[in-house]
Amino acid sequence: MENKETSPEKEDKEIGQKEVTVDEKTVQVIIDGSEGLSLDDFHTNDKKILSLLNQDSDLNDNQYTFNGLARKLGMHQQSLSRALGRLEDAGIVQRTENGYKLSKNLRSILVKKSRIDLENLSKIISKQYLQFTQILQLYIPTTVKAEQVVNRLVGKWFGNLRWIGHVEGDGGYVLQWANNDRFQVNLKIVSRYAVIESNAVGEKNKADAIVSAYRILEQITKTLKTASDKSDRRNGLGSFSQYN
Residue from 183, 178, 173 nearest 163 by CA: 178
Check residue 32 and give its pLDDT.
44
Residue 53 lies in a domain: yes
Q: Is residue 86 part of a domain?
A: yes
**CA torsion, points 105, 109, 113, 115, in degrees to nearest 10?**
0
SS3 category, 125: helix
Q: What is the CATH number of the domain that holds 193?
A: 3.30.160
Give the helix/strand (H/E) hosting 141: none
The pLDDT, as a whole number, for residue 8 is 42
Q: Is the same domain home to 160 and 103? A: no
Backbone dihedral region for residue 169 (phi beyond 0: left; psi -120 to 50: alpha; all else: beta): left
Total domains present in the chain: 2
- Indicate if 32 and 83 belong to the same structural domain: yes
What is the pLDDT, as a whole number, of residue 126? 66
Angle formed at CA 66 by CA 60 and CA 70, multiple of 5 degrees: 100
Other beta carbons less than 10 A from residue 217's beta carbon: 16
The boundaries of the domain holding residue 164 are 131-235
Q: Are 231 and 156 in contact (CB under 8 A)?
A: no
Banded pLDDT at 188 (limits 50, 70, 90): very high
- Tell me the per-residue pLDDT of 58-67, one tens digit each, with 9 for 90 and over: 545 789 999 9
Rounded average pLDDT over 34-56 = 79
| pLDDT band of 229, cuts 50, 70, 90 | low
Using one digit for the tens of pLDDT, what is the confidence trace for 86-124?
999 988 899 988 899 988 777 777 777 777 887 777 777
Any idea what the CATH number is for the domain that residue 95 is in? 1.10.10.10
What is the distance between the alpha carbons of residues 144 and 125, in angstroms, rounded to a whole number?
Answer: 33
